[in-house]
Amino acid sequence: MAIKLTRRARKKAAAREQIIAVAIELFSRHGLEGVTVEHIADVADLGKGTIYNYFKTKEDIVVAYMVEKEKEVQARLSGLMKMKGTLASILTEYIRLQFRLKRPYHRFVRIFLGQMFLHTEAFIPYMLDMQKAIDPNLEALFDGLKKRELLRQDLATPELINTFKTVHLGLTALWAVEGPPFRGTEKVLRQEIKLFCEGLETKK
């Protein structure tokens, strides 16, 4: 059953979306350093104080934007659940597809990771929100791979998810630092997933 928002809640949500949309457009054109909160408020036709009611810093706006993008990316990954191939090829494509979908936002991924590492405590609510989109997909993926006997049955899915997310995070950091055309990342991605899968595959 859908929850009906109050008029005040709808206005707050609309203002937040407006701030994010305007800020990201300005950041894309002028870079993060070239845009002030005053500039964002002026273009969004909102008071500067209103911006600070929702976001403490410009970087927080980018983080909120990337959380929404992550949810969109995760929504497009369901097709991989039925992908044919080896365990390594499926997991490699899982990460490769995410990098492809996030390539237009590469500069914002860098800011996102910076906030995660520099301001971890403030970042935690955003991370928890992201996990709600990421974990169900990974659970379905690993459970499906077990049913297809591509993955060992004795491995606990929650532990698999946490370990794989750690591998994914490292590769994402490399991808963010390297930048286009990502040749080094592609090579490391194949090698790391191959090694990761050697202890996970069903022995026949």
Measured distance between the N- and C-terminal CA atoms of the chain, rounded to whole angstroms? 47
Is the CATH number of domain 58-198 1.20.1070? no
Question: Where, residue-wise, is CATH 1.10.357 in the chain?
Answer: 58-198
Q: How far apart are CA 191 and CA 22, in angstroms?
A: 40
Q: How far apart are CA 112 and CA 185, in angstroms?
A: 19
pTM, entire model: 0.85
pLDDT at 1: 44
State which amino acid sits at residue 104.
P
HSE value, Cβ hemisphere, 13 Å, CA-based, for 194: 6
| Structure-token pair, residue 190 | 């194949």
pLDDT at 13: 84
- Burial of 23 by CB count in 10 Å (0-12 exposed, 13-18 middle, 19+ buried)? buried
HSE value, Cβ hemisphere, 13 Å, CA-based, for 188: 13
Question: Where, residue-wise, is CATH 1.10.10.60 in the chain?
Answer: 1-55
Share in percent of the chain as helix, strand, coil (round to 5): 80, 0, 20
Phi and psi torsions of 51, nearest 5°: -60, -45
Question: Which are the contacts of 59, defined by CB distance < 8 A and separation ≥ 6?
Answer: 32, 111, 114, 115, 119
3-state secondary structure at position 201: strand
pLDDT at 173: 96
| Structure-token pair, residue 70 | 């992550």
* Regions of the chain where pLDDT drops below 70: 1-5, 203-204
Q: How far apart are CA 109 and CA 172, in angstroms?
A: 9
CATH topology of domain 1-55: Arc Repressor Mutant, subunit A (1.10.10)
